[in-house]
Amino acid sequence: MTGRDPKQARTHLRVSVLGGFRLEEDGVSVLVPDGSQRLLAFLALNGRSIRRSEAAGTLWPAVTEDHASSSLRSALARLSPRARASVLATSKEIGLSHDVAVDLWDSRDLAHQLTTAARAPAFEPDVDVVVDLSNEILPGWYDDWVLVEAEAWRQVRLHALEALADSLSSRQQYGDAATAALAAVKAEPLRESPRAALIRVHIAEGNPSEALREFVQYGELLRLELGIEPTERLRALVGELLPVTGR
- For the stretch 130-155, pLDDT in tens is 877 889 999 999 999 999 999 999 99
Domain identity same for 39 and 62: yes
Domain identity same for 111 and 214: yes
In order of 74, 75, 104, 115, the CA distances from 79 in angstroms are 9, 7, 22, 38
Residue 2 within a domain: no
Q: What are phi and psi of 102, to 5 degrees?
A: -130, 125
Domain identity same for 19 and 78: yes
10 Å Cβ neighbour count for 176? 21
Count the domains in the chain: 2
Which of 37, 63, 98 lies at the terminal end of a domain, its last residue? 98
Compute the average pLDDT of residues 154-161: 94
Which of 98, 118, 147 lies at the terminal end of a domain, its last residue? 98
- Is 58 in contact with 70 (CB distance < 8 Å)? no
Domain identity same for 172 and 239: yes
Query: Does the pLDDT of residue 2 top 50, yes or no?
Result: no
pLDDT digits (tens, 9 = 90+) for 14-34: 999 999 999 999 999 999 998
Domain identity same for 84 and 194: no
Nearest-angstrom CA–CA distance, 63 and 56: 10
Q: Which residues contact 78 (CB under 8 A, 6 or more apart)?
A: 33, 35, 36
Q: Are strands 93-96 and 87-89 parallel, antiparallel or unpaired?
A: antiparallel
The boundaries of the domain holding residue 132 are 103-245
Q: Which residues contact 151 (CB under 8 A, 6 or more apart)?
A: none
Domain identity same for 81 and 135: no
The secondary structure of residue 135, as a DSSP letter, is: P
Domain identity same for 122 and 91: no
> Which is higher by pLDDT, 73 or 48?
73
- Domain containing residue 21: CATH number: 1.10.10.10
pTM above 0.85, yes or no: no
Residue 181 within a domain: yes
Nearest-angstrom CA–CA distance, 130 and 135: 9
- Domain containing residue 131: CATH number: 1.25.40.10
Domain identity same for 80 and 193: no
Query: Does the pLDDT of residue 8 top 60, yes or no?
Result: no
In order of 128, 143, 200, 209, 230, the CA distances from 243 in angstroms are 37, 52, 18, 12, 19
- Is 141 in contact with 40 (CB distance < 8 Å)? no
Q: Comparing 8-12, 15-19, 196-200, 211-215, which segment has the lowest mean pLDDT?
A: 8-12
